[in-house]
Amino acid sequence: MSLVEQIAQADERGLAAGGLACLDRCLPLLGGDDELLRPLWARLADGSDWAGDLSRAHEALGPADPADDEAARLARRMLASAPAERTADALRPWTDACSVASLRIHRLLDPAADDAPAPDGGPHPADLDAGRAGDTADLPPLVAAELRRQSVVLELLAGHGAQGLRRALEVSVEGRRVLRAVVSRRARSAAEPGA
């Protein structure tokens, strides 16, 4: 089943976990504490309202930094657009947008990706759309791995419900470590003389 189909079929908890996991993996771009979104994961586990914790996460990150690059702006937009009301109708478009944004972020940061911009200035959205639809042949490694993580999170929630949340969080933490390493390498490379 393609990622697009998984999102279309996911229930409220699966959609919330799918979008939250994408955002969680991209936290290194925002300088956020690794535990920033943990209360939101807890709300998914116990089924309670997450509006207050969502608001606290916004406050903790503070306003957007004008110096943010495109990847950081995409990550910040994921949090900014998270719906306070956790219904399937509110979550489905957000989760879909988080999926696309996270894949675009990974595409921007993937050292194996070619640097030629897409016609609209974005990073090859046709490749990302094809990947989300099931054709992963042309995706660079970092993007393909992110696509797999997104799919695994939705599979875990579809197959195990609330019991799948712990493993979904583990998948997200693993992806966050990978992205943090990529961001750190890029920062070191940019700081080198002659870079």
Every domain of the chain and the residues it spans? 3-191
The pLDDT of 138-162, averaged and rounded, is 94
Contact 37, 24 (CB under 8 A): yes
Q: Distances from the Cα of 89 to the Cαs of 2, 9, 95, 151, in angstroms?
A: 20, 12, 11, 20
Contact 92, 15 (CB under 8 A): yes
Q: Distances from the Cα of 184 to the Cαs of 29, 31, 180, in angstroms?
A: 10, 12, 6
Q: How confident is the model at residue 123 (pLDDT cuts 50, 70, 90)?
A: very low
pLDDT, mean over the chain = 89
62-72 residue pLDDT tens: 888 888 899 99
Would the pLDDT of 89 be above 60? yes
Separation CA 110–CA 142 (nearest Å) = 6
The pLDDT of 159-172, averaged and rounded, is 94
Would the pLDDT of 127 be above 90? no
